[in-house]
Each structure stands twice: as structure tokens, then as C-alpha cells.
């Protein structure tokens, strides 16, 4: 019987994760089943319990459940504990073991695929939820200079800064302060605002001469922010497709002990995305 894996989130209708993991399994000759489970936050624990009772051995977690998953794990990796956010689950005899591969996936995509040198970049992180928590520690470890966290709920931004525990390198600011923050060499959108047709109104004064924008979303949800970045003369405007593939490969390795090659799959998904944009 194939081992059972799943992605938990809400909504997950258009997720690429099942396709990605099935491709990895096919390439490496691993017998597994991977499906998407749409569950609202109030039902997440029950859905996870049902999955475990049915023989589920591993899973991924996406918005808006990453912080809830943190609280449901029996033990945690150092990355998940530091982020207090979980995107990868492994079933053990003691319950769920939680990991966070978002940060490793983002840094690998930016540095290996896009050849972006993160060292010394003054960074603006938009958002303070599970996605932001997952990537912030890895960005600091990759050598960015100072990070400013801005979130519509200032309290959540403050909590993330406290969690990172990097005095002098990380600070929180109000969303209303964006006009007065100066310029940045890296601006990352970790919010979900544009997933539901919303918009991010950002000043062009955030752009420095050495300026890159990164959206952790991909597809239509990333388009408004990346369009702003291009209008602000960004050297590069990068969506979250590569991060999605790389964090999935990190999770796959933790489940199976083998890391799949990602280049061909990423190229295929990127070409398909380009065709869809041309068709529109």
C-alpha cells in the first residue's frame, strides 16, 4: 500500500503541491500518494487526526494553518521552533514532528537559481504571519543586513521581532510609516492580501538603486506586487514559484531521505505559467 501524504490549507483548490510531489516520487521511483485537504482553521486538528488514523505519515501545511500546526506538534526542528511556524509534518510514534522548510527553500531559490547575493541587503519584510515567520530566520542566517518588519497588525510585527531575537538587526514599524522608512535593497511580500483581489499600496521611495522584489505568492496573487516592483525599476522581480518547488524538495528529503532534482520541474512549471500569461 502506498504511503499517504497530504497538503492541508484553506483554500487549496489551485495548489501545485500534489503535482510537484508526484513528479518527485515518479522521478525517484518512490511509491506514495499525495492529496490536498481543504480545511478551515477550526477543523484543522480534526482533519489532521483523521489523516493520522487513516495511515497518513507526512504532510505539508500552507496558509492559514502554519502557526496552528506549530501548536499541534509533539516535537519540533530548530527551524520550526525558532519560527513558531510549521509547514512540514512527519508522523512519529509520539505524534507529529514539525519542521519548517520555507526559509531554506526561499534562500536556495534566490541564491542558487537566481544568483542573488543576499549579503548586506537592507530588507523590508511585509507581513508577520506564518509565511513571514518561516523565512525571516533563514534570511538573517543568509547574511542580510538589517530587516524591518511591517504588518497591518503592529502587534504581530512586534511579536515576530521578539521571536527573532536579533537586537540591532531587526525592527518593527507601522504600515503607516512606509513613506518614512527610507529605501531598501530587498523587499519581500509575505502577506496574503493579493490572494483575494486586494492590493498593496506601496511608495516608490522604498526602492534603492540596488533593489530586488520577491513575492512569496505565485501566479495571479503575485502579479500586483511584482508589477509595482517593475514600475519602481527593480533589478529583479521574483515570484514564489521557485520557493514552492525548493521547499517541497526539502520536505520530500525529510520524508524519504533523498532530495529530488528540481531544475526540470521548475522549468516546466515556469514555461506553463508563461503560456498561461500569454493566453490571457
Give the CATH number of domain 3-100; options: 3.40.50.1440, 3.10.450.50, 3.40.50.10860, 3.30.70.100: 3.40.50.10860
Q: What is the pLDDT of residues 89-133, one digit of tens each?
A: 999 999 999 999 999 999 999 999 999 999 999 999 999 999 999
Active site residues: 66
Residue 35 CA to residue 19 CA, distance in Å, equals 9
Q: Is 105 labeled as ligand-binding? A: no
Whether 233 has a pLDDT exceeding 80, the answer reads yes
Has 102 been labeled as part of a binding site? Answer: yes
* pTM exceeds 0.85: yes
CATH topology agreement for domains 3-100 and 103-241: yes
The mean predicted confidence, pLDDT, of the chain is 94
Q: Residue 11 pLDDT more than 60?
A: yes
Average pLDDT on 204-233 reads: 94
Burial class of residue 150 (count of CB atoms within 10 Å of its CB; 0-12, 13-18, 19+): buried
> Any idea which fold 103-241 has?
Rossmann fold (3.40.50)
The model's confidence at residue 258, banded by pLDDT at 50, 70 and 90, is: very high
Which three cell numbers, joined as nine digits, stand for 246? 525548493
- Residue 130 counted as an annotated binding residue: yes
| Band of pLDDT at residue 278, cut at 50, 70 and 90 | low
Domain regions of the chain by residue span:
3-100, 103-241
Torsion of CA 69, 72, 77, 82, to 10 degrees: 70
Amino acid at each position: 500500500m502506498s504511503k499517504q501524504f497530504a497538503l492541508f490549507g484553506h483554500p487549496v483548490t489551485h495548489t501545485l503541491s500534489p503535482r510537484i510531489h508526484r513528479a518527485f516520487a515518479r522521478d525517484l521511483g518512490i511509491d506514495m500518494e499525495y492529496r490536498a485537504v481543504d480545511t478551515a482553521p477550526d477543523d484543522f486538528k480534526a482533519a489532521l487526526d483523521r489523516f493520522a488514523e487513516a495511515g497518513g505519515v507526512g504532510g505539508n501545511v500552507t496558509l492559514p494553518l502554519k502557526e496552528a500546526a506549530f501548536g499541534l506538534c509533539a516535537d519540533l526542528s530548530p527551524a520550526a521552533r525558532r519560527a513558531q511556524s510549521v509547514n512540514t509534518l512527519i508522523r512519529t510514534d509520539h505524534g507529529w514532528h514539525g519542521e519548517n522548510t520555507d526559509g531554506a527553500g526561499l534562500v536556495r531559490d534566490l541564491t542558487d537559481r537566481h544568483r542573488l547575493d543576499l549579503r548586506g541587503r537592507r530588507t523590508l519584510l511585509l507581513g508577520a504571519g506564518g509565511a513571514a515567520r518561516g523565512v525571516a530566520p533563514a534570511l538573517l542566517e543568509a547574511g542580510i543586513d538589517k530587516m524591518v518588519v511591517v504588518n497591518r497588525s503592529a502587534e504581530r510585527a512586534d511579536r515576530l521581532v521578539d521571536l527573532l531575537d536579533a537586537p540591532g538587526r531587526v525592527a518593527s514599524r507601522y504600515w503607516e510609516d512606509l513613506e518614512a522608512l527610507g529605501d531598501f535593497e530587498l523587499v519581500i511580500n509575505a502577506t496574503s492580501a493579493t490572494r483575494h483581489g486586494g492590493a498593496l499600496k506601496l511608495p516608490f521611495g522604498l526602492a534603492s538603486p540596488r533593489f530586488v522584489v520577491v513575492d512569496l505568492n505565485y501566479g495571479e496573487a503575485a502579479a500586483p506586487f511584482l508589477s509595482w516592483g517593475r514600475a519602481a525599476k527593480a533589478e529583479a522581480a521574483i515570484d514564489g514559484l521557485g520557493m514552492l518547488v525548493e521547499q517541497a524538495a526539502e520536505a520530500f528529503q525529510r520524508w524519504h531521505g533523498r532530495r529530488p532534482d528540481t531544475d526540470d520541474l521548475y522549468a516546466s512549471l515556469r514555461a506553463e505559467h508563461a503560456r498561461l500569461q500569454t493566453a490571457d
